[in-house]
Amino acid sequence: MNGAAPESRTRRRTRRAILATAASVLARNRTATLAEIADAAEVGRSTLHRYVSDRDELIRATVEDSIEVVGQAILDARAHEGPPLEAMRRVVMAHVEVGDRLMFLFRDPHVMREYGVVEPEHPVEHDPVIELIERGQAEGVFAPHLSPQWVQRVLWALVTAGIEQVESGRMSPHGVASLVIDTLEHGILAR
């Protein structure tokens, strides 16, 4: 999907729609064909082939685009601004909003490895979610006895569970973020 000439707005918009649809379709069905993805994107196969030559190229482009979209969503959540609890709520909403991208990238651990994305051996130097958790712990908002990495994994698990509920039709997309936030903040104990 890389060309020497700059893309027109229409071409960029079509490309983004194809990649977003590919992430959504492939998150649910890893074996989806180019024809199925084109159909879901509401473009013809010939249009799809103007952007990618084969399925492998589509998956590679979708991985790259999804990493960018997820990263931008987390940045847009402004985890470093405002009270930690409000910032965490924005982070949860950002994760839920890019749920298809997250599920595409992380549901199958081989996807990123097969397409050249390797997990760093050491933690990322500036992880905005870890930094938010640490700030919340320092301010007495989040439990100090839990490691920030544990809290982040619990957040990911809750977001994943919420997205799976939407995928299965058991929950509307609108209710997921508030359910994840409520469970993250209060656990499962009766109040």
What's the half-sphere exposure (Cβ side, CA atoms, 13 Å) at 114? 13
Average pLDDT over residues 113-140: 82
Enter the pTM of the model. 0.85
- pLDDT in the model for residue 173: 82
Q: Are 64 and 1 in contact (CB under 8 A)?
A: no
Domain boundaries, the chain: 9-186
**And the tokens for 83?**
């009270």
- pLDDT in the model for residue 3: 52
Centre a 10 Å sphere on the Cβ of residue 30 and count the other Cβ atoms it contains: 13
Tell me what the pLDDT averaged over the chain comes to: 90
**And the tokens for 174?**
């609108």
**Residue pLDDT, tens place only, 5-31:** 567 888 899 999 999 999 999 999 999
Please tell me the distance from the alpha carbon of residue 4 to that of residue 87, in angstroms, as a whole number.
40
Q: Are 159 and 95 in contact (CB under 8 A)?
A: yes
Which CATH code for domain 9-186? 1.10.357.10
**Residue pLDDT, tens place only, 66-76:** 999 999 999 99
Please tell me the distance from the alpha carbon of residue 38 to that of residue 14, in angstroms, as a whole number.
11
Percent of the chain surpassing pLDDT 90:
77
Whether the per-residue pLDDT at 115 is higher than 80: the answer is no
- pLDDT in the model for residue 2: 52
Whether the per-residue pLDDT at 146 is higher than 80: the answer is yes
Three-state secondary structure string covering the chain: CCCCCCCCHHHHHHHHHHHHHHHHHHHHCCCCCHHHHHHHHCCCHHHHHHHCCCHHHHHHHHHHHHHHHHHHHHHHCCCCCCCHHHHHHHHHHHHHHCHHHHHHHHCCCHHHHHCCCCCCCCCCCCCHHHHHHHHHHHCCCCCCCCCHHHHHHHHHHHHHHHHHHHHCCCCCHHHHHHHHHHHHHHCCCCC
